[in-house]
């Protein structure tokens, strides 16, 4: 039986040394839904850091089902 893998809806590379406010701004600019505290509003955000020092972080966001963004009407 063939395996089915879910591809991320949004992928963002966060450069090494980025501050938390810059990280939140990069994720928002890419379209990842974040709340006022900078946490994911819905969906799933997987962050992968490289094992070597100075490596960038790769963030992959997957939408959870048929979520409707806040403020928009279905």
Q: Is 3 among the domain residues?
A: no
Closest by Cα among 23, 59, 58 to 38 = 23
Which pair of structure tokens corresponds to residue 17?
Answer: 């040394």
Give the residue ranges of DSSP H helices in 1-74. Answer: 20-30
Q: How confident is the model at residue 73 (pLDDT cuts 50, 70, 90)?
A: very low
Q: Is 1 among the domain residues?
A: no
Taking the C-alpha atoms of residue 34 and residue 62, their distance in angstroms, rounded to an integer, is 13
> Containing domain of residue 37, as a range?
10-62
Q: Is 70 among the domain residues?
A: no
Q: Is 68 among the domain residues?
A: no
Determine contact, residues 62/6, Cβ cutoff 8 Å. Answer: yes
Q: How confident is the model at residue 38 (pLDDT cuts 50, 70, 90)?
A: confident
Q: Is 2 among the domain residues?
A: no
- Give me the number of domains the chain comprises: 1
The structure's pTM equals 0.74
Q: Is 67 among the domain residues?
A: no
Determine contact, residues 6/58, Cβ cutoff 8 Å. Answer: no
pLDDT above 70 covers what percent of the chain? 85
């Amino acid at each position: 039986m063939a395996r089915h893998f879910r591809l991320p809806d949004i992928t963002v590379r966060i450069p090494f040394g980025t501050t938390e406010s810059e990280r939140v701004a990069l994720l928002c600019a890419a379209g990842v839904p974040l709340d006022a505290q900078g946490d994911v509003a819905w969906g799933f955000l997987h962050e992968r850091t490289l094992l070597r020092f100075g490596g960038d972080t790769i963030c992959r966001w997957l939408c959870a089902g048929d979520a409707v963004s806040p403020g928009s009407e279905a």
